Amino acid sequence: MDTRELIQRYYAAFNARDWEGMLALLTPDVAHDINQGGRETGVEAFGTFLARMNRCYAEQLADIVIMAEGARAAAEFTVHGQYIATDEGLPPATGQRYRLPAGAFFETRGGRIARVSNFYNLADWLKQVGA
C-alpha cells in the first residue's frame, strides 16, 4: 500500500477506536513524538500511550487532509473531543468538550509507519477545558 493509504488506514483505525489495528500499522521501533513532550520508541510504548488516551479522552478526527510524497506524509485535521478522566499533570476532567486543530508528520518504512510526530496548541486545549 502507498503512504497515503497507510495514513488513511491509521486514522480510520483511530476513529474506530481500533487500537490493535493502529498498532499493526507501526514498525516495531516506531518513534512517537508527543506534542510538547518527549519521544517514545516502540510499539509497546505506543500501546501504553493509546491506553492512557483511551482512558482520559474520547476523540474523533474530522476534516482529515493527508499530503504524502514517497515515504513521508503530513496530515491536518480537527479533533472533536471530550475530556473524560483526569490525565496526570493536567486540570481535572469533568466531561469538558473541545474542538482543536491539529496535525502530524509521518515517516514510513516497509509499508508501515516508522515515525508519528503530533502537534496541537496545548494552550488552546487548556483554555477550552477551563484551565
Q: Where are the domains of the chain?
A: 3-128
Centre a 10 Å sphere on the Cβ of residue 109 and count the other Cβ atoms it contains.
12
Quote the mean pLDDT of the chain: 96
Interval 22-67: pLDDT, tens = 999 999 999 999 988 889 999 999 999 999 999 999 999 999 999 9
Q: Which is more confident, 22 or 130?
A: 22
pLDDT on residue 130: 87
Instruction: Categorize the per-residue pLDDT at 115 as very low, low, confident or very high, splitting at 50, 70 and 90.
Output: very high
Distance CA 76, CA 29 (A): 24
Q: Which CATH class is domain 3-128?
A: alpha beta
Whole-model pTM? 0.94
